[in-house]
Chain A
Amino acid sequence: MDSAFIAAFEILSFGAIIVLVTLGLGIIASMMGIFNFAQGEFVLLGAYVTYLAATAGLPVWVGMLAAPFIVGLFGFVLERLIIRRFYLAPIVAMLGTYAIGLIIREAVRGLIGGRYISVSEPLGGSLDIGDIHVSMWRLVIIVITILVMVASYLLLARTTFGLKIRATLENPALARASGINTSAIYGSTFAFGAALAGLAGALIVPVFTLFADLGIRFLIQGFVAVMVGGIGSFAGPVAGAGIIGVLSAALPWVMAPVVADVLVFVLAIVFIKFRPQGLLSGKGV
């Protein structure tokens, strides 16, 4: 019973991490039609900012708080300068963002070397419920993921800003005609997606340690999750990420990890092949 509970917790916490990482990717893909290959590097940047704050002697949580804002700002500048040229050409966007990702990744690699740097958790220790010990920090990640999910949903579904984003997604020309500054909307949406990646990076760095290829690890998983969930909505990528995250964490308990890893991808691609619109098709939130 205890081990089942621990397994469930592990699966849940990994699922939460994948959701957190995919959220920004999904928002950018859904709302802007851009498959951002630099998203993994935004995650890396978030982790790196946290590490920088820690080495500067600040408490780790200060870095974690700052990471989304810094990465978001970076994303905004990037969108203004480069990404905005890519909107009409999805493949060029893929390659362009890949190049950006390459620059960021190699720059960080140059700065930290080939090392694996551990960053301590702001909330260490474990939570004890009877005989069961669960990692406090993983619990925090789950809670924050839920909060971020709800907040993002409310932002997109219930605020004027969210309405404008969705309007821009549905019909850019009409949105412009209605007085919405679509270019500004794109900029802030991209910044928002980048900020979510930065937050994800900051939160997961204590679990995975900081290394230059941290982002790559999640990129393909994130893309597959977005495709499985369905592009064009907020709920789709989140659902996809939940499924992919839970599957990749759960399958290794019942089969060899390597087989499980590959199986998740194969299943996902087969699923997308026969249901290209994804799990939750349709526009809206």
Chain B
Amino acid sequence: MMQIARTAPAKSAGAQRWAVLPFLEIGALVVALVLPLLLQDYLTVFATRVLILAIFAVSFDLVWGYAGIMSFGQALFFGAGGYGAALLARDLDVVSMLLILPAGIIIGLVFALFVGGFLLLGRHPASVIFVALGTLTGAYAADRLARGWYYLGGQNGIPSIPPMSLGSYDFTEGPAFYYFVLAILVVTYIGCRFLVRSQFGLALAGLRENEQRIAFFGYKVQHLKLIIFALGGAIAGLGGSLYAFHEGFVWPNILGVVISTQVVLYVLFGGSGTLIGAIIGAVVIEGVSFWLSDNYREIWPIILGGLLLLVILFRPSGLVSLLLSERERVGSFGRPPKGGHRGSS
């Protein structure tokens, strides 16, 4: 990543003289706001699912795109949030949104703290490969465990989760749920954006580009990593709990390797290290695969793999790098750097 990333700014610097990112963000928001008015109901349901997956993608982008921690098992936290929410609804009859969503966040956070604490902390600095394999193995093991554990419903998962409620209002699939998820996505996005534009975010980007240098600046690298990993886990847990209530069921796949790699594809495709890239990736991949699934169901994954390979080889910063300059991946804090072309946001 590093080697490729380093050469990229030379190409794109200077090509953009004004800030593209805010336009992209506002444009995306406007599209998202008017979309349910244009779509039929079943498509709104689909769009809601995509937005939930976009929240999940943001969580992965935060961990990988910013801090450079290859969390190949991010679905573990997504699925844990989902299963946690489902169990709360099934065993304790908790369906209030005000309890479910915080529970999802906390479950994701706690799981990520445990997994991240184990993998990232310690005397031996964890190698990238070890973290990638460790998280991947964690997701795989969780998937297997959920499949075999009767309490969690085994292969079939937990079906017929009641709708989430706020006071006396029930959120069922449809426009209301859509706008609700959109609001959560926007809040998450803004929160993450503030985070990555802070000094902390700058340190994270430094972590991705050159970990050793950040360590020499006196940052406790392992702690930074654990914090962002836990935060990513919390957001993934939030997404998972939304997913469980939106779909009305959870099953072992949402914990496992398939969804874990899926989210990697979103972020890689859309552009890692730009939060909007993660969302665009999720929307484009899910949208196209939905669109093609009628006629080209067999061929689409092959095309997806091919496109992905092309992106990795020729556009390592993803689709969004066609519009955004490399500088967006680094962020800024305080005064914009000399020759900076971003607005002083």
Residue positions of A touching B, CB distance < 8 A: 35, 82, 85, 88-92, 94-96, 98-103, 106-107, 109-110, 216, 220, 223-224, 227, 256-259, 261-262, 265-266, 268-269, 272-274, 276
Interface string of B116-141 (1 = CB under 8 A from A): 00110010101111101110111011
Q: How far is the CA of A15 from the CA of B301 in the complex (A)?
A: 33
Q: How far is the CA of A116 from the CA of B134 in the complex (A)?
A: 30
Residue of A nearest to B134 (CB): A269
Q: How far is the CA of A102 from the CA of B309 in the complex (A)?
A: 10
Q: Which residues of B contact A110 (CB under 8 A)?
A: 298-299, 302
13 contacts between A and B (CB under 8 A): A85-B313, A89-B1, A90-B128, A92-B316, A94-B132, A106-B298, A258-B145, A261-B141, A261-B148, A265-B137, A272-B130, A274-B124, A276-B126
**Residue from the list A92, A106, A223 in contact with B305, Cβ < 8 A:** A106
Shortest CB-to-CB span from A261 to chain B, Å, is: 5
Task: Say if the beta carbon of B37 comes within 8 Å of chain A.
Answer: no
Q: Which residues of A contact B140 (CB under 8 A)?
A: 220, 265
Q: Are B144 and A99 in contact (CB under 8 A)?
A: no
Q: Which residues of B contact A35 (CB under 8 A)?
A: 129, 132-133
Q: How far is the CA of A99 from the CA of B137 in the complex (A)?
A: 19
Q: Are B298 and A99 in contact (CB under 8 A)?
A: no
Q: Which residues of B contact A268 (CB under 8 A)?
A: 137
Q: Are B302 and A103 in contact (CB under 8 A)?
A: yes
Given contacts A89-B4, A91-B1, A91-B128, contact A82 B309 (CB under 8 A): yes
Shortest CB-to-CB span from B214 to chain A, Å, is: 18
The 4 closest A-B pairs by CB, nearest first: A258-B148, A103-B305, A102-B305, A106-B301
Considering only residues 299-326 of chain B, those with a C-beta below 8 Å from chain A are 299, 301-302, 304-306, 308-309, 312-313, 316
Q: How far is the CA of A9 from the CA of B119 in the complex (A)?
A: 36
Shortest CB-to-CB span from A121 to chain B, Å, is: 28
**Residue from the list A96, A101, A103, A273 in contact with B312, Cβ < 8 A:** A96
Q: Are B119 and A82 in contact (CB under 8 A)?
A: no
Given contacts A96-B309, A220-B137, contact A273 B316 (CB under 8 A): no
Shortest CB-to-CB span from B272 to chain A, Å, is: 10
Q: How far is the CA of A96 from the CA of B1 in the complex (A)?
A: 11
Shortest CB-to-CB span from B315 to chain A, Å, is: 12
Q: Are A262 and B144 in contact (CB under 8 A)?
A: yes
Task: Say if the beta carbon of B283 comes within 8 Å of chain A.
Answer: no
Q: Are B148 and A95 in contact (CB under 8 A)?
A: no
Shortest CB-to-CB span from B75 to chain A, Å, is: 14
Q: Are A89 and B3 in contact (CB under 8 A)?
A: yes
Shortest CB-to-CB span from A90 to chain B, Å, is: 6
Q: How far is the CA of A94 from the CA of B135 in the complex (A)?
A: 14
Q: Which residues of A contact B298 (CB under 8 A)?
A: 106, 109-110
Q: How far is the CA of A227 from the CA of B134 in the complex (A)?
A: 10
Task: Say if the beta carbon of B70 comes within 8 Å of chain A.
Answer: yes
Chain B: residues with Cβ within 8 Å of the partner, total of: 43
Q: How far is the CA of A273 from the CA of B132 in the complex (A)?
A: 13
Q: Which residues of B contact A82 (CB under 8 A)?
A: 309, 313
Q: Which residues of B contact A265 (CB under 8 A)?
A: 137, 140-141
Q: Which residues of B contact A103 (CB under 8 A)?
A: 302, 305-306, 309
Task: Say if the beta carbon of B31 comes within 8 Å of chain A.
Answer: no
Q: Which residues of A contact B309 (CB under 8 A)?
A: 82, 96, 99-100, 103
Residue positions of B touching A, CB distance < 8 A: 1-4, 70, 118-119, 122, 124, 126-130, 132-134, 136-138, 140-141, 144-145, 147-149, 257, 261, 264, 268, 298-299, 301-302, 304-306, 308-309, 312-313, 316
Q: How far is the CA of A259 from the CA of B138 in the complex (A)?
A: 14
Given contacts A91-B70, A106-B298, A273-B122, contact A261 B144 (CB under 8 A): yes
Q: How far is the CA of A35 from the CA of B127 in the complex (A)?
A: 13
Q: Are B144 and A258 in contact (CB under 8 A)?
A: yes
Q: Which residues of A contact B306 (CB under 8 A)?
A: 99, 103
Shortest CB-to-CB span from A103 to chain B, Å, is: 4
Q: How far is the CA of A92 from the CA of B302 in the complex (A)?
A: 19
Q: Are B308 and A99 in contact (CB under 8 A)?
A: yes
Residue of A nearest to B123 (CB): A274
Q: Which residues of A contact B130 (CB under 8 A)?
A: 227, 272-273, 276
Q: Which residues of B contact A99 (CB under 8 A)?
A: 305-306, 308-309, 312
Q: Which residues of B contact A256 (CB under 8 A)?
A: 148
Shortest CB-to-CB span from A66 to chain B, Å, is: 24
Q: How far is the CA of A272 from the CA of B136 in the complex (A)?
A: 14
Given contacts A261-B144, A265-B137, contact A91 B132 (CB under 8 A): yes
Shortest CB-to-CB span from B46 to chain A, Å, is: 22
Q: How far is the CA of A265 from the CA of B141 in the complex (A)?
A: 7
Q: How far is the CA of A276 from the CA of B134 in the complex (A)?
A: 12
Shortest CB-to-CB span from A236 to chain B, Å, is: 14
Residue of B nearest to A104 (CB): B305
Q: Are A220 and B305 in contact (CB under 8 A)?
A: no
Q: Which residues of A contact B268 (CB under 8 A)?
A: 95
Q: Are A266 and B312 in contact (CB under 8 A)?
A: no
Q: Which residues of B contact A92 (CB under 8 A)?
A: 1, 4, 312, 316
Shortest CB-to-CB span from B320 to chain A, Å, is: 17
Residue of A nearest to B307 (CB): A99
Shortest CB-to-CB span from A109 to chain B, Å, is: 7
Q: How far is the CA of A259 from the CA of B149 in the complex (A)?
A: 9
**Residue from the list A85, A107, A258, A269 in contact with B302, Cβ < 8 A:** A107
Shortest CB-to-CB span from B71 to chain A, Å, is: 12
**Residue from the list A96, A98, A259 in contact with B313, Cβ < 8 A:** A96
